[in-house]
Structure 1
């Protein structure tokens, strides 16, 4: 079986790691797969032994992008060069993300020529990336080719459901293909790790870099309600646009003398393994994820996980034996903690108008109503869907109300989990998300593609159906607007 794997680049990062894990899994499982990885930049690593650089495949704006037919020809020639013949399957990552419209159209050209392909979106231009979406304007009607020899994969059930609705009536199936979770290094549980004087006691560690969707305000809320615990995220932002907000949260926490540190790694000489070993528990309060590694990896560290759940991402995990019942789906705050309900509704309206305009879409008449009421539950509003000014106002109110603090504590259920649950979840992750399991799943998908036999006519799905699902006002989160 000869596979041409395609991505814009092979720089260190999420998709590159997925590709490296894939080839490692095949090798460890002894599967007879010959693969070449095609990218727009030279591969800086040493794990992939067969790579080809394809000029014009790297990130490009519409004005910079090369002729798609030329790119399609170059991809085919590079694949033949790396494999000795035409590939049996093209495995293409993020073709419709909007990072290079020529790749999107080149994929359409290859699809029309009868090539068998597995389209593997990790992220979507339709999901809060309006600039990417606009870059696809000319090629968007051909962004999602379909046919019995064109299959799709999704990282989670949410994306799979959205893709299935778009592809309904087509011959293209959508497979669920969660990423592998390679074994983690052993984290010391020795007393030496616990006695690190640089690190706070009773630490609940949120091991993420600071970006807006990580919902840093919820750390301050939890710290206000749990004075006996200490909360910290690990890293500051690399995006300069988020730095002012990050610094604002640091100043805000200091002004209320909260037991929280933003960017803990920047205040200590302790290594990441030392921080994990020292922590009482790992915490997650993110409001948006793709695969959801943060819900699986902590168990492999030998640590429990507390905090916010994302059911549309994690429902797959629960079905595979990873119990997340201790997490909360919704963090209710009484509506009277909001300084101005009318002001909040105006903020929601402004965000929706800006968001829909950025996608060149018409705003539904009842969009504001849908968005506001989707945030409510029993006359309370979900803290994690509010913008930073409203979050800070709520925390100030919480800081003076012991009754409200107790309510928050009871709802969140933050606790150090027993070793039995940690061990069971660790074993489930090791079994269901191992490299070996991943290798088996992906080979099964490839085989289903090859079993299709003769190709069918290529048609194109209506991407508007996918966009409408991601744009739904009921999905609005004010931490995911600009």
Structure 2
């Protein structure tokens, strides 16, 4: 088969990694081409065509018309294959990082191209700045990376025959030895806001035996970069055991090999590779679990019941009135931007549940309030004891009973269920279905919005703009 892939850019990141693994997974079985708005500097094993009109919108730059970009895509396809491609596999098309992207896709569909639209992240899930007001493409095949998203899209109108659950492939991390920095706990992440860096910094204050937290990569976007820079300065001022950007000039496998364990504090994930990859290197993963994501993994025999679901802090430790005001403002703002109708007193009832017993989950706080909690811990000797009483696992962070057996069990389960061989078979089966089974369905965006607008997990890290 002839498979063309589309992504906004090929810079280092989660979706680019998935795309590269897809190209490698079907190598030898399919002829491939990658179309992108920015090929960056990376080398690829297949032909890459750079079409700038497919890239992110740039401030002050007038983009080419959608029809013109679609024509360039078609030209590239027919130059590669005189009879065109069998499937055009498009990544994250429903995020409005390029405001003409849906029009480009629909124009290609009108030209007879078979579309496979794979969604990694939903604009409806706390990304109102990336939300399209127009309808998503209809009568084409869609792919998702977890069972939660599959269930949501089924409720929103997609048919089983045209909706494909494609969990990401997991590569084995060698975990090379021979490079030994300070005793470290690794947070392998590009530090965007939803990765909840403040919580990882809080955990560093409970590490023992001279351990240090090591954060691998800085973010790319301006809003995330501002938060990141402020965290670096805050850590420096308070002399906390945290190192930043440790992966910029060091091979990732060396970092993993030198780490005692891996931690995650993210409040939102699409697939959650971070919950799977550490086990392949023989490393323990600990930290915050995301129930809607890890349920898929646990059904496949991966033990993650020791991850915590929330980190409770006393509401009295923050400016409660300011938090209430900002949280309610963010709820109303998000509802307006999505065209979502709030029921009378709905936000008040939800906030009362979130703050019951005069506690709040640290992951729901934006950086301003997280720093108020951390400041309490640095100035009040009893603060740590109080936090341990609310979250007993903080007395032994990164320590799990029978860890050797858990690591071995999870390593085997990950390789058995998420290996590259299984992934290749799934991908080829989906492509065959797309070619031979046209579909007639569409997404009800109202149902999609309501499915993600969950006030019980409404975090200001996702829904509120950054500000000190």
TM-score of the aligned structures, taking structure 2 as reference length: 0.85
- What's the counterpart of residue 325 of structure 1? 305
- What's the counterpart of residue 309 of structure 1? 289
- What's the counterpart of residue 267 of structure 2? 287
1:127 maps onto 2:109 in alignment: no
For residue 328 of structure 1, report the CA deviation from its aligned partner: 0.6
Q: Secondary structure at the match of 1:145?
A: coil
Any residues of structure 2 matched to 1:66-215 within 5 Å, and which?
66-112=64-110, 115-133=113-131, 136-137=132-133, 140-141=134-135, 143-146=136-139, 150-168=140-158, 170=159, 173-188=162-177, 193=179, 196=180, 198-199=181-182, 201=183, 203-215=184-196
For residues 13 and 232 of structure 2, the distance between their equivalents in structure 1, rounded to whole angstroms, comes to 28
1:431 maps onto 2:416 in alignment: yes
For residues 172 and 370 of structure 1, the distance between their equivalents in structure 2, rounded to whole angstroms, comes to 39
For residue 161 of structure 1, report the CA deviation from its aligned partner: 2.4
For residues 352 and 393 of structure 2, the distance between their equivalents in structure 1, rounded to whole angstroms, comes to 21
1:6 maps onto 2:3 in alignment: no
For residues 304 and 244 of structure 1, the distance between their equivalents in structure 2, rounded to whole angstroms, comes to 31
For residue 53 of structure 1, report the CA deviation from its aligned partner: 3.8
For residues 448 and 5 of structure 2, the distance between their equivalents in structure 1, rounded to whole angstroms, comes to 25
For residue 112 of structure 1, report the CA deviation from its aligned partner: 4.7
- What's the counterpart of residue 389 of structure 1? 368
For residues 423 and 38 of structure 1, the distance between their equivalents in structure 2, rounded to whole angstroms, comes to 39
Q: Deviations over 1:150-176 (max 9, x none)?
A: 2211122232222222225x5763221
Asked whether the equivalents of residues 206 and 397 of structure 2 are also in contact (C-alpha less than 8 Å), the reply is: no
For residue 47 of structure 1, report the CA deviation from its aligned partner: 2.5
Structure 1 residues 275 and 48, CA, compared in 2 at 3 Å: closer, same or farther?
closer
The root-mean-square deviation of aligned C-alpha atoms, in Å, is 3.2
- What's the counterpart of residue 404 of structure 2? 419
Asked whether the equivalents of residues 68 and 103 of structure 1 are also in contact (C-alpha less than 8 Å), the reply is: yes
Structure 1 residues 241 and 26, CA, compared in 2 at 3 Å: closer, same or farther?
closer
Structure 1 residues 66 and 157, CA, compared in 2 at 3 Å: closer, same or farther?
same
Of 422, 431, 451, which aligns to 1:446? 431
Q: Deviations over 1:296-345 (max 9, x none)?
A: 1211222101111011122211122221111111122344x344544332
Q: Which runs of 5+ in 1 are unaligned?
A: none
1:344 maps onto 2:309 in alignment: no
Structure 1 residues 367 and 433, CA, compared in 2 at 3 Å: closer, same or farther?
same
Structure 1 residues 165 and 393, CA, compared in 2 at 3 Å: closer, same or farther?
same
For residues 46 and 462 of structure 1, the distance between their equivalents in structure 2, rounded to whole angstroms, comes to 39
1:461 maps onto 2:443 in alignment: yes
For residues 252 and 101 of structure 1, the distance between their equivalents in structure 2, rounded to whole angstroms, comes to 36
1:21 maps onto 2:21 in alignment: yes
- What's the counterpart of residue 276 of structure 2? 296
For residue 271 of structure 1, report the CA deviation from its aligned partner: 6.0
1:52 maps onto 2:33 in alignment: no
For residues 163 and 69 of structure 2, the distance between their equivalents in structure 1, rounded to whole angstroms, comes to 26
1:33 maps onto 2:61 in alignment: no
Structure 1 residues 75 and 172, CA, compared in 2 at 3 Å: closer, same or farther?
farther
Q: Which runs of 5+ in 2 are unaligned?
A: none
For residue 381 of structure 1, report the CA deviation from its aligned partner: 2.2
For residues 309 and 462 of structure 1, the distance between their equivalents in structure 2, rounded to whole angstroms, comes to 30
- What's the counterpart of residue 455 of structure 2? 473
Structure 1 residues 218 and 55, CA, compared in 2 at 3 Å: closer, same or farther?
closer
Asked whether the equivalents of residues 203 and 397 of structure 2 are also in contact (C-alpha less than 8 Å), the reply is: no
Structure 1 residues 234 and 104, CA, compared in 2 at 3 Å: closer, same or farther?
same
Q: Secondary structure at the match of 1:3?
A: strand
Q: Secondary structure at the match of 1:265?
A: coil
For residue 405 of structure 1, report the CA deviation from its aligned partner: 4.1
For residues 246 and 55 of structure 1, the distance between their equivalents in structure 2, rounded to whole angstroms, comes to 29
For residue 283 of structure 1, report the CA deviation from its aligned partner: 1.0
